[in-house]
Amino acid sequence: MSKRLHAIGAEFESAAEIYHAAEKVRDAGYTAWDCHSPFPIHGLDKAMGMRKSWLSAFVFVCGLTGFLTGLGLVTVTSFGIYPIIVNGKPIDWSHGIRALQFFFPVMYELTILFSAFGATFGMILRNGLPRFHHPLFNWSRFAKVTDDKFFLVIETRDPLFSDAKAKALLAEIGGKHVTEVFDHD
């Protein structure tokens, strides 16, 4: 199998360096690129020109689904298929709809449960996880990302990508060890 170029990567020494480097890569117009750091850097999303995540909208839809599921669950079972008097709660639709507060804990809990699932699994899917391997792991220096080094990577799938220009840009903005990263060894 022939090697295919995945990205051009560069190493930075500090959070401040990669922050300013990110601003320059953003201004150069690249879209398929990423920063990797050992810890979260406040404001890096803005320096990278990232928009607000759509995860919250997904969570909202999941929460609404949970609420409606809870509403359906309590009303259909209590007023429809199993009308049993429990704690004097209503057992028919006309009274039940006006006394929904007694059934509220179920709707409330399912809203939270579905929202939490939406947030967790939505985030995992949005990040392209799970996956078994990533081409960046082929770059031996990249292991330092869990310790004290910062990495900026421009991927080949970027429409603006050209090997020489990406290398020149990364060198110009202060990146060290500018390296070609291939999709397998």
Partner 1 sequence: MSHPIHVPNSEKFDAAKGVLLKNVFSVAAAVGLLGAGVVYFANKELFAHVWLFAFMYFFTVLCGCFFWNCVHHATDSEWSVVIRRQIENLASLLRYVALFFIPIALCVTILYVWYTKTPQTDASLAGTKGLYLNKPFFWFRAIAFFGLLALLPHILRKRSMAQDKDGAALHTIIMRKVAILGIPTLAICLTFSGIDWLKALNHHWFSTMWGVYLFAGAAGASMALIILVVSWLKKLGYLTVVNDEHYHLMGKWLLAFTVFWAYIGFSQYMLITYANLDEETIYFRVRNTGSWNYLSHLLVFGRFFFMFVPLLFQGLKKSKLINFTAVWILAMQFLDIFLIVIPEWSPVGFSFRAALASIFPWLGIGGCLGLLFLRTLGEGYLFPTKDPRLAESLKASN
Interface contacts to partner 1, rule CB under 8 A: 15-16, 19-20, 41-44, 46, 52, 56, 60, 87, 101-102, 104-105
Nearest alpha carbon to residue 17 among 127, 151, 181, 142: 151
> Which of 3/126 has CB closer to partner 1?
126
> Which of 52/131 has CB closer to partner 1?
52
Q: Smallest gap, in angstroms, from Cβ of residue 180 to partner 1? A: 29
Instruction: Kindly report the number of other CB atoms within 10 A of residue 87's CB atom.
Output: 5
Q: Smallest gap, in angstroms, from Cβ of residue 33 to partner 1? A: 19
> Which of 101/140 has CB closer to partner 1?
101
> Which of 16/168 has CB closer to partner 1?
16
Rounded CA separation 155/128 (Å): 15
Question: DSSP strand E in the chain: where?
Answer: 5-12, 33-36, 150-155, 176-182
Q: Smallest gap, in angstroms, from Cβ of residue 135 to partner 1? A: 29
Q: Smallest gap, in angstroms, from Cβ of residue 87 to partner 1? A: 6
Ramachandran quadrant class, 114 (left: phi over 0; alpha: psi -120 to 50; beta: rest): alpha
DSSP 117: H
